[in-house]
Amino acid sequence: MNIGQASKATGVTAKMIRYYDEIDLVRPASRTDSNYREYDDRQINELRFIKRARSLGFSMEEITQLLSLWRDRGRPSREVKAIADRHVADLDARIGEMQAMADTLRHLSHCCAGDDRPDCPILADLTEGKEPSDPVKRRPSFNR
Amino acid sequence: MNIGQASKATGVTAKMIRYYDEIDLVRPASRTDSNYREYDDRQINELRFIKRARSLGFSMEEITQLLSLWRDRGRPSREVKAIADRHVADLDARIGEMQAMADTLRHLSHCCAGDDRPDCPILADLTEGKEPSDPVKRRPSFNR
DNA sequence: CTTGACCTTCCCATCATGGGAAGGCCCATC
DNA sequence: GATGGGCCTTCCCATGATGGGAAGGTCAAG
């Protein structure tokens, strides 16, 4: 299976497959005589795994760990659970922050006439330069 | 006021002040004879505005628009409200996605023994390569 | 006049992803 | 067996907001 077929089979773009290859996330692809990458079922499954894990918001760092546990038949499920739980806590923290932003804005918007006049509580709030409760530092790499 | 004082006065790092300067987000800083940036109250207020807007999750793009409305005394509050409402919808969408991720993971984690044994519903789920409901495309630039 | 704290610009890195160019390969159709 | 279109390869660049750091100029207090 070449990269295009692997891409179709997994839903991961060829670009990203090459990237995962480059950062050694997946087992190294073997190459044909003409230097085409060749993927077998094992790698296809790894790519699917990565895709699903990304869709659950895991960072590449976490996925590296998850993949290594996945490959290890003797893994303790405790370790997998720990990674998942940490990620859930991370998600919850971010959800909380965004919820706070949305709530604040909903309130301000509700107080804004939204007509032709210039008076606007939203701008007024921004002008006051209130401090946010805490400039939260997040673990790197959960863009999307 | 030089950049360091402006930074202290607004809580925006000097690095970021220079960046906002570079992308013409704030009014251009005047310079002293020795090429130091000089900020007046107007610009200090703009920096505070930006800071507060960032803390509410607005993208630079949105902040550009908000700043321009802020500077315009004749703005219709409708336009400000529209930007805010769009942003709230964006936040809500993202919150929804993350909530779904967290809920899924909470369920899986709950089903995982988390002991020395290797069996793990979390890994099992990742292995199945289920499709996420929909690969949501978000507007660029809301990292943090 | 020295010293240390500040300022300047310039370059590089992040993280996951996509765009695109230049060149090589494969297969089907003429 | 040549041609063409659709693959593949590598390489470089961009994103968005932010920080790190180097090299060199400036200011103010001692």
pLDDT in tens, A53-106: 999 999 999 999 999 999 999 999 999 999 999 999 999 999 999 999 999 999
Answer whether A91 sits within 8 Å of B105, measured CB to CB: yes
∠ at Cα A140 (A136, A144), nearest 5°?
95
> Within a domain: residue B40?
yes
pLDDT at B140: 38
> Within a domain: residue A68?
no
Which residues in B lie closer than 8 A to residue A135 (C-beta atoms)?
55
User: If you write DSSP's letter for every residue of B112-123 in order, what string do you get?
Assistant: ---SSS---HHH
To test the contact with chain B by mutation, choose from A119, A122, A136, A141 the residue with the greatest count of B C-beta atoms within 10 A, namely A122
Residue B27, CB, strand D, below 7 Å = no
> Within a domain: residue B101?
no
pLDDT in tens, A11-34: 999 999 999 999 999 998 899 999
Indicate whether B138 pLDDT > 90. no
Structural domain for A120, as ranges? 79-128
pLDDT band with cut points at 50, 70 and 90 for residue A137: very low
ipTM (interface predicted TM): 0.80
How many cross-chain Cβ pairs, A to B, lie less than 8 Å apart? 178
> Within a domain: residue A26?
yes
What does the DSSP 8-state code read for residue B20? H
Of A11, A74, A88, which is closest to B102 when you measure between CB atoms? A88
Residues 6+ apart with CB under 8 A from A92: B102
Q: How many distinct structural domains can be found in chain A?
A: 2
> Within a domain: residue A102?
yes
Indicate whether B45 pLDDT > 60. yes
pLDDT in tens, B79-106: 999 999 999 999 999 999 999 999 999 9
Domain of residue B43, CATH code: 1.10.1660.10
**Nearest residue of B to residue A113 by CA position?**
B77
> Within a domain: residue B42?
yes
User: If you write DSSP's letter for every residue of A105-140 in order, what string do you get?
Assistant: HHHHHHT---SSS---HHHHHHHHTPPPS--PPPPS
Q: Which nucleotide is nearest to B33 (CA to C1')?
A: D26
